[in-house]
Amino acid sequence: MVTVIANPQAGGGRTRRVLPAVQAELERLDVCYSAQFSRSLDDARELARAAAAAGEIVAAFGGDGLVAAVAGVLRGTGGVLCVIPGGRGNDFARSLGVPIDPVKACAVIAAGRPVAVDLGVAISLRNDSEADREQHVFLGIGISGLDAETNRLANESRLRLGRLVYVYSALRALSRWRPLHYRLVLDGRPLSLSGYMVSAANGTSYGGGMRLAPAASLADGRLDVVLVSEVSKLRLLKNLPKVFGGNHLNCGFMTIVRGRELEIHADRECMMYADGDPLLALPVRLSVDEHALRVLVRP
């Protein structure tokens, strides 16, 4: 039995429009299912919790934010998640190799196999008491700095540009950006950076297919940490299109280091985003919960 949890607002209402076609495909594939619209992320979490307790597969039909909310509920329970892409970015589906077309993704529900993948974990360092620190999980890439500001502007945009809204927002963010001064601790080793961003990747892409960490793995127990140093805005802009092909790492000012745990501190107020939504304000500690989530992938 499969419970489909759909976010009716995802993709500008795309899931609401496409849900009948998804239901028709599931019926054609002889999948036993029920479908429900979620009123909020908290409501989606409750629906996922009830479905998992009943031993059902949970299919999240929406954007990466919905998928991450459901994944947080299923974390460590042995429950199985399936992704039906319905948002603007759908980057977790890309990392899994799930078809971006929601109707075609139904084949993964019908014939997919469960595999265990890692989850990113973010813990706020704003509270001295470890027990009181806010914690969230993320699926793809935790971004700070210029990319976080880009994400904020993309979320606020009302332009119907599809995933190109991230490119438009990046240009807006870059026009007024000034470097951040970071203090980092990677697996106990102190690092520093003055530049545009520090991002920690569990998955390969963000922003609708921008392959920021092309070699990242969902099952290696490591974060691929992307460091972008200070250069001229023109040079950064000239290299920006390379991110879509994952060919940006030879530009000389972008570096990837890998580790299990990363602390990020910055010299001014900065929000970290992940899976398309705000995650936590810096400073934060990021780590990996290995093989904490079971997901269906193509056979």
CATH code for the domain defined by 2-111: 3.40.50.10330
Per-residue pLDDT tens digits of the chain, which is 299 residues long? 999 999 988 877 888 999 999 999 999 999 999 999 999 999 999 999 999 999 999 999 999 999 999 999 999 999 999 999 998 889 999 999 999 999 999 999 999 999 999 999 999 998 767 767 899 999 999 999 999 999 899 888 877 776 678 788 888 999 989 999 999 999 999 999 999 999 999 999 988 888 999 999 999 999 999 999 999 999 998 998 898 889 898 899 999 999 999 999 999 999 999 998 999 999 999 999 999 999 999 98
Report the CATH number of the 120-290 domain: 2.60.200.40
Tokens in use for 188? 């106990």
Distance CA 299, CA 296 (A): 9
pLDDT of residue 10: 80
Question: In whole angstroms, what is the distance from residue 150 CA to residue 144 CA?
Answer: 10
DSSP, collapsed to helix, strand or coil, labels residue 220 as coil
Q: Residue type at 133?
A: R
- Delimiting residues of CATH 3.40.50.10330 domain(s) in the chain: 2-111
CATH 2.60.200.40 domain span(s) along the chain: 120-290
The pTM assigned to this predicted structure is 0.90
Q: Give the three-state DSSP class for 154.
A: helix
DSSP 210: B
**How is residue 216 written in tokens?**
């990242």
Q: Report which secondary-structure segment, H or E, holds 51.
A: helix 41-53
Contact between residue 14 and residue 21 where contact means Cβ atoms under 8 Å apart: no
Give ∠ CA 8-135-49 in degrees, rounded to 5.
Answer: 45
Amino acid identity, residue 152?
A: R
